[in-house]
Amino acid sequence: MKQQAQHTPPFTEGINRVDGIMKVTGAAKYSAEYELPGMTYAVFAISNITKGTITSIDTKAAERAPGVLAVLTHLNAPKVPGYEAGKDPSKPPTTGGPLKFFVDNSVKYNGQPIAMVVADSFERATYAASLIKAQYNKQQHETDTEKNKFKAAAPKGGRNGGDYKRGTPDDWKAAAVKVEQEYVVPINVHNPMELSVTLAHWTADDKVTVYAKTQGVKSTQNAIAQAFKLPVENVQVTTKFVGGAFGNALRTWPHEIATVQAAKLVKRPVKTVLTRELQFNTVGYRPYTWQKVSMGASADGKLTGIIHEATAQTSSFEEFTEGTVNMTRFMYACPSVGTVYKITPLDVNTPTWMRGPGEATGAFALESAMDELADKLGIDPIELRIRNHADTDPENGKPFSSKNLKEAYEMGADKIGWSKRKLKPGTLTEDGWLIGYGMGTGVFGAGRGRATVKAALLDNGTLLIQTSVTDIGVGTGTAMTQIASEIFTGIPVKKIKFELGDSSLPPSPTQGGSTITSTVGGAVHDACTQLKEKFQQLIGNGGTDKPDYVKVLKEKNLPQLEVTVTSSGSTEMRNFSSYSYSVHFVKVKVHPKTGVVRVDNVVSVADSGHIVSPKTARSQIIGGAIGGIGMALMEEGIMDHRYGRYVNNNYADYHVPISADIPQIDALFVNKPDYRVNPMGAKGMGEIALIGMSAAVANAVYNATGKRIRELPITPDKLLS
Amino acid sequence: MKQFQYIRPATQQSVLDAITKPGTKILAGGSNLIDLMKRGVTSPDKLVDIQKLPLRGISQNKGNVMTVSVGALELNSAVAENKIIKESFPLLSMALNAGASPQLRNMATVGGNMMQRTRCTYFYDTAMPCNKREPNSGCGAMEGINRMHAIFGTSEKCIAVHPSDMCVALAALDASVEVKSKKGTRYIPFTEFHRLPGETPQLDNTLATGELITRVIIPHNNFAKNSYYLKVRDRSSYAFALISVAVGLDIRGGNINEARLAMGGVAHKPWRLKAAEQFLKGKPATVANFEEAASLAMQGAKSFGHNDFKLKMAPASIIEALSNAAKLS
């Protein structure tokens, strides 16, 4: 793609959230709110052992309970045709595969569904499920990552396998100043407000309609089509609104397939809404990850070598990997870098991506270690980063498509009042509280994928734009409307209609990995541009900036003028490394006696190209910062490993930040377009909003107290010990 | 859920007639009981909803000893915002506002707050052992996850804590509890209302079957000027106490005339610190004296691993709360 300079809209406040009024008035219909005639409800009975086999299961009382239509177990569940049951279970494919419910008597984790009750009400299904009694042949289980680290091995598949080495990483050992420390990020469980929802309704023997909480209607459509061996177009998936997903609805989980299966059996619509408790075991989580960073620098603060090792948990039946150590390869200009990534299988459900995902875990370690190194060198942590700034990508030698990180450091430092920070920790107080400032950097790949968009001018003056993408709450509909409105400047925003979340619309990718604004936005841009050209051809030369679309279409006797455009990134991108960056600045107060930490101020700066939709971008940065505060100070899925059970599987005991924990958060944007990525010059920011934040908090706590907490979350007890 | 009977009597007499059998539960705000029923921790045969009873109102009684009476069905939020309470017993108001969330405080009643059960995770999870839920099934917390658990008054059977904030303040304020049954009326000193687990951790308190809490009575005191409720917790709201400290001081000319101290998050009941109170009586309000009092308060403390930090956090919190109450900065 050529450098496109024709499209440089001003950095304005942007339009309001297009679905904002629907959301605050309750008019937005979330997946659990769909009601269908004859609808039934599914509830799972779960295993309370962690590993073993079911020797008997008594469902008689449940079957007799009032309102019960069916009880599915491994003994009677109809086959899911695409499951290919019967494969030798002792020889799984090298990278494993998702668990399949009700195909055999094995129990692979505590809380695994062993039966599914379908009844005419949720309460009756819940009661009947409580009557199911199972006997087990129990086996010794392992759920503790720390205890099973010795079993860890490099992943067999996936793109995060394989050790990385450049130069002589062991050079850190001979450096003038060294840091060698271990860091732990515990399990973070997916706890968005909206629980997992699946409502399945077979409209014919070979046709099913599904309302689901998913981050990608097309991927859910494909998964169901494969499982039930249906033509893809026979599966309709709708997801109009999502109440927070953060990665937990990227996959189609086995309980969703089970819901579709049950609906086929009872020949009525079946709705499954997971309980909060079951959410902990069913839709993935950020895995417990141990890390070690060894780094050395010369006396003047130039990095000489870094080794970043990580070991994370996965399930016994499936490899889950993420890019935990990858950032260390290219973040700083260091001649010698080594990374090692391993996973250890446990008797738990498979982890999944959680906002940031592995990069957020990795950045906690790398950016904490950088802070430790700056402290040892006696220099400002921003200065250390500037001295090691990578001008080109040290991993592959390519130039960056754009990088304004130095400017981001400057903007954030200025805004938070970084000059008030003391180099020596524990020396600043306000009203009896210890005060500290800290910062951390985040980075995430910025690319552009393929999407198809249909754009149509209707003879009622509406610009209708359609694609299957879901909006998981980030403001995709708003951003796409903004892009279209900047091309069709003559059409008022309220006449632009962006339709999404429907598998029958032209295909867009799943919303995840900070790609949608670039990918779908690029396609919306291209579709609108082509539609505008088509209109120009229709009216010939000499049109105005604000043509009367309605009049023209009526004159030409056209009900609508439409284009469908598939577009994706340019091959030129292969010559560049492309990343979005963030820098988080945090001011904390720590109570010297009780160890209570309060975040007093946050400034997050995003270097993510042109900001397409300033209002929703600001919200996204604030949301990521809050997620990062939770990761730093509160979130931890605590398991009693004797039983393999979570002990805090509810909203009261699993802490996420509440309003009173959240201070003023300023979201700043460098806002310099990168037209190599897409014609808007925009790069993603969903992940960078969180990546690096937990390190910023931990570094601020160190600056306040002189105590370095390397195992999250930073709870008051850890600061007292 | 098991089928159960639900009644909503209009008179106190009909409530007292209805609650004579074990297996009957009194329902007020429901903010804890309904959760327990959903989780299968408790399965009553009968729920007696007492919301129709006239057990509301906060009033001053100017008899021989001036007291304030708080109806058992007063909402936590209403008590916290009441003018008499805020002026005479700011400690109670502070403690109430430190508890739960605004939504819960708008549902939860004074009597219900006293009757709430421990939040010990092993008590809540019916697949785990718990002597409190199921006598003689064992204690999951003792060698399990016990970060939130007790350091005082524990037994071999149970190390759970009482979760209330309000009760910590009422214990410090020498309140008493009016209870009625078909046999008549009796008054239980607040500090004797909740009990230690001992051999029978299934019993949270000394209320007998057939008894109904009707009022809480708080005697007049001189602590209003120097009261403080400190709650140390993992987030700023909607989190149970790691440690909480209720302090009331009657300071005259820099000397402590009377002191009241109680802790939450440390025992199966609100934990009064009598030795520390005795020590402080007559002494100047200084940090040095507060440190000594805290050290006395910690005698006999015992931790279980994850809650070792409480041995450090508790005395630090006592000193901090006392300093705040005494307005030492």
CATH assignment at residue A542: 3.30.365.10
pLDDT higher than 50, residue A4: no
pLDDT of residue A98: 82
The SS3 of residue A414 is helix
| Beta carbons within 10 angstroms of residue B45's beta carbon | 13
Cβ separation A640–B309 shorter than 8 A: no
Same domain flag for A416 and A267: no
Give domain status of residue A413, yes or no. Answer: yes
Cβ separation A638–B145 shorter than 8 A: yes
pLDDT by residue (tens digit) across A648-704? 999 999 999 999 999 999 999 999 999 999 999 999 999 999 999 999 999 999 999
Give domain status of residue A10, yes or no. Answer: no
pLDDT by residue (tens digit) across A592-648? 999 999 999 999 999 999 999 999 999 999 999 999 999 999 999 999 999 999 999
pLDDT of residue A602: 98
| Beta carbons within 10 angstroms of residue A437's beta carbon | 25
Same domain flag for A683 and A628: yes
Give domain status of residue A4, yes or no. Answer: no
pLDDT higher than 50, residue A398: yes
Average pLDDT, chain B: 97
pLDDT of residue A371: 98
pLDDT by residue (tens digit) across B198-248? 999 999 999 999 999 999 999 999 999 999 999 999 999 999 999 999 999
Same domain flag for A83 and A159: no
Three-state SS annotation for A450-497: CEEEEEEEECCCCEEEECCCCCCCCCHHHHHHHHHHHHCCCCCHHHEE
pLDDT of residue B3: 86
pLDDT by residue (tens digit) across A567-593? 999 899 999 999 999 999 999 999 999
Show which of A282, A299, A328 is a domain's final residue: A282
pLDDT higher than 60, residue B193: yes
Burial of B126 (0-12, 13-18, 19+ CB in 10 A): middle
Give domain status of residue A646, yes or no. Answer: yes
Same domain flag for A586 and A621: yes
pLDDT higher than 60, residue B101: yes
Closest of B191, B189, B188, B228 to residue B208, by C-alpha: B188
Same domain flag for A66 and A158: no
In one-letter notation, the amino acid at residue B322 is L
Same domain flag for A649 and A706: yes
Same domain flag for A594 and A546: no
| Beta carbons within 10 angstroms of residue A256's beta carbon | 26
Same domain flag for A209 and A112: yes
Same domain flag for A409 and A299: yes
Q: Which of A594, A600, A648 to mutate to test the interface with B (most CBs of B within 10 A)?
A: A594
Say if B288 is an interface residue toward chain A (CB within 8 Å). no
pLDDT by residue (tens digit) across A232-291? 999 999 999 999 999 999 999 999 999 999 999 999 999 999 999 999 999 999 999 999
pLDDT by residue (tens digit) across A399-432? 999 999 999 999 999 999 999 999 999 999 999 9
Give domain status of residue A376, yes or no. Answer: yes
Check: CB of residue A411 under 8 Å from CB of residue A605.
yes
Average pLDDT, chain A: 94
Domains identified in chain B and CATH numbers: 5-52 (3.30.43.10), 226-325 (3.30.390.50)
pLDDT band at A92 (very low <50, low <70, confident <90, very high): very low
pLDDT higher than 70, residue B131: yes
Same domain flag for A638 and A681: yes
- Measured between beta carbons, the chain B residues lying within 8 angstroms of A123 are 1
CA dihedral A498, A500, A503, A508 (to 10 degrees): 90
pLDDT band at B99 (very low <50, low <70, confident <90, very high): very high
Same domain flag for A40 and A122: yes
Could you list the active site residues of A?
687
Give domain status of residue A529, yes or no. Answer: yes
pLDDT by residue (tens digit) across B27-41? 999 999 999 999 999
Cβ separation A720–B320 shorter than 8 A: no
pLDDT higher than 60, residue A94: no
Separation in Å, CA of B124 to nearest CA in chain A: 9
Q: State the sign of the Cα–Cα–Cα–Cα dihedral A90, A92, A94, A97.
A: negative
The beta-carbon neighbor of B320 closest among A123, A594, A717 is A594
The beta-carbon neighbor of A717 closest among B144, B145, B313 is B313
Which of the residue ranges A212-216, A540-544, B116-120, B282-286 would you say has the lowest mean pLDDT? A540-544
Give domain status of residue A9, yes or no. Answer: no
The SS3 of residue A395 is coil
Give the total number of structural domains in chain A.
3
pLDDT higher than 60, residue A6: no
Token pair for residue A280?
A: 């902990």
How many helices and strands (H and E) does chain A possess? 16, 28
pLDDT of residue A542: 64
Average pLDDT of span A120-140: 97
Cβ separation B238–A130 shorter than 8 A: no
The beta-carbon neighbor of A127 closest among B1, B127, B230 is B1
pLDDT band at A3 (very low <50, low <70, confident <90, very high): very low
Residue with tokens 């700023």: B236
Average pLDDT of span B313-322: 98
Which of the residue ranges A544-553, A634-643, B187-196, B314-323 would you say has the lowest mean pLDDT? A544-553
Cβ separation B128–A643 shorter than 8 A: yes
Q: What is the CATH number of the domain that holds A228?
A: 3.90.1170.50
pLDDT higher than 60, residue A381: yes
pLDDT by residue (tens digit) across A595-605? 999 999 999 99
Say if B114 is an interface residue toward chain A (CB within 8 Å). no
Average pLDDT of span B13-19: 97
pLDDT by residue (tens digit) across A279-306? 999 999 999 999 999 999 999 999 999 9
Average pLDDT of span A370-399: 98
pLDDT of residue B62: 85
Average pLDDT of span A132-139: 98
For A21, the enclosing helix (H) or strand (E) is helix A20-25
Find all residues with CB under 8 Å of A159, minimum gap 6, and list them: A321
Show which of A512, A539, A568 is a domain's final residue: A568
Closest of B201, B254, B238, B207 to residue B105, by C-alpha: B238
Check: CB of residue B74 under 8 Å from CB of residue B56.
yes
pLDDT by residue (tens digit) across A365-377? 999 999 999 999 9
Say if B237 is an interface residue toward chain A (CB within 8 Å). yes
DSSP state of B267: S
Range of the domain at A347: 151-187+286-446+575-720
pLDDT of residue A95: 61
Closest of A111, A120, A135 to residue A65, by C-alpha: A120
Give domain status of residue A5, yes or no. Answer: no
Q: Phi and psi of A26, rounded to 5°?
A: 85, 5
Residue of B nearest to A713 (CA): B234
pLDDT by residue (tens digit) across A149-187? 999 999 987 778 789 999 999 999 999 999 999 999 999
Same domain flag for A539 and A424: no
- Measured between beta carbons, the chain A residues lying within 8 angstroms of B101 are 658
pLDDT of residue A9: 53
Show which of A225, A259, A282 is a domain's final residue: A282
pLDDT of residue A543: 63
